Structure 1
Amino acid sequence: MSRTTNRDTPSRPHQETPATSSVPVPAVAQAGPVSHAIFRVARLHRMIAGQLLRPLGLHLGQELVMMHLWELGPQRQTDLVRLLDSDAATMTRSIKRLENAGFVRRRPSPDDKRATIIEPTVASQALRREVERIWAELEGASTDDLTPDQQAEALHTLQRIEDSLARAATRSPDVTPAPTADADTTTD
């Protein structure tokens, strides 16, 4: 009779199992267990987000562009680059895809002929409800096994990690600073 291991059976939600990962931890990464855990969590989070967004015709990150447009209203493309800590080429591709799908409209800035204004369309409002639903589903997938206190502590810890990484990024000579609001980042 063969013995069944955890790897042989699918994991079940809310089941107490030992911490395992589908990504083996190389010996070199033993010096950075938190960094490796962040890598694994981010990889899984992006994978699930991509799966949830795909039926809407959205690529990862496009929902964040739309969230900022819905929240803030029309924005210069340059400002979206800065808000999302993106680069001009990636943002241009995202905006073109969103425009082709009918979710945003581009127009020249009335104040600066070099700038492009991006605005959400009326058609994007139905998308907004779906993105909100998907975001809630993603949050549930991420935190359903945590108590409200554990969720608050995780959020606090992640904020401290982000702050620490942001400080390290500003000290690193290899990090390219984000474009300023005055920089022309459109490549239309």
Structure 2
Amino acid sequence: MDFERADALNQAVRLLSLRHRARAAALLAPLGLHPGQEALLLELSRSGPMIQAQLSEALGCEPPSVTIMTRKLEATGHIRRAPAPSDKRASVVELTESGEALAGQVKLLWCALAEETVAGLPAETVAELPGILTAMTGNVDTRRPRRSRER
């Protein structure tokens, strides 16, 4: 790939990421949430209670970030933490009733943001985007060992 194409691609990905996060932040603020917290709520809603280490892995973020988010969400009453039965050093995190209700609001907000993000794109393109973006994410995932590529 030549530089002009590479630059256009990298700039587009960078700007989409920045603007999507900023738009998400604006939509989440009235719910009292900061970016990242919605992903934690949605993961717990989808998967049920889990230990913080599993939550960190599922969210693709560092354990200290999950610890900070869980403390803040626990302080607002949206989640609760309890010692894991199998390992008292680990904490199991689960949604409270208010957390379930908030996750429901986030789901509605997430649908609206997704529709806003893909507005004007053909349905076929929209259907392909999750797979394309997941593949692109995997290509740059620093948590995975790099595969050597033959050229």
TM tier relative to shorter chain: 0.7 to 0.9
Q: Give 1:148 shift.
A: 0.8
The 8 Å contact of residues 108 and 116 in structure 1, kept in 2 or not, is answered as yes
The 8 Å contact of residues 75 and 117 in structure 1, kept in 2 or not, is answered as yes
For 1:47 and 1:56, how far apart are their aligned partners in 2?
Answer: 15
Matched, 1:126 2:126: no
Matched, 1:106 2:81: yes
Judged with a 3 Å threshold, the aligned counterparts in structure 2 of structure 1 residues 54 and 171 are, in CA distance, closer, same or farther, namely: same
Judged with a 3 Å threshold, the aligned counterparts in structure 2 of structure 1 residues 156 and 85 are, in CA distance, closer, same or farther, namely: closer
2:58: which partner in 1? 83
Q: Give 1:61 shift.
A: 0.8
Q: Give 1:30 shift.
A: 6.5
Judged with a 3 Å threshold, the aligned counterparts in structure 2 of structure 1 residues 145 and 161 are, in CA distance, closer, same or farther, namely: same
1:146 to 117, 121, 126: 121
Q: Specify every segment of 5 or more residues in structure 2 that has no aligned partner in the other structure, as ranges.
A: none
Judged with a 3 Å threshold, the aligned counterparts in structure 2 of structure 1 residues 117 and 29 are, in CA distance, closer, same or farther, namely: farther
Q: State how many pairs are aligned.
A: 145
The superposition leaves residues 48-96 of structure 1 with CA deviations (integer Å, 9 ceiling, x where unpaired) of: 0000001111110111111111111111011111111111211111001
* Identical amino acids, percent of aligned pairs: 31
Judged with a 3 Å threshold, the aligned counterparts in structure 2 of structure 1 residues 30 and 71 are, in CA distance, closer, same or farther, namely: closer
1:57: which partner in 2? 32
The superposition leaves residues 5-40 of structure 1 with CA deviations (integer Å, 9 ceiling, x where unpaired) of: xxxxxxxxxxxxxxxxxxxxxxx8774321111000
2:13 to 38, 48, 51: 38
Greater helix percent: which structure? 2
1:71: which partner in 2? 46
Q: Give 1:128 shift.
A: 1.9
Q: Give 1:156 shift.
A: 3.4
1:95 to 70, 81, 102: 70
For 2:142 and 2:21, how far apart are their aligned partners in 1?
Answer: 24
1:159: which partner in 2? 134
User: Quick check: 94-103 or 124-133, which moved more?
Assistant: 124-133
For 1:82 and 1:159, how far apart are their aligned partners in 2?
Answer: 16
Judged with a 3 Å threshold, the aligned counterparts in structure 2 of structure 1 residues 95 and 29 are, in CA distance, closer, same or farther, namely: farther
Judged with a 3 Å threshold, the aligned counterparts in structure 2 of structure 1 residues 55 and 29 are, in CA distance, closer, same or farther, namely: farther
Q: Give 1:159 shift.
A: 2.8
The alignment partner of 2:86 has SS state of: coil
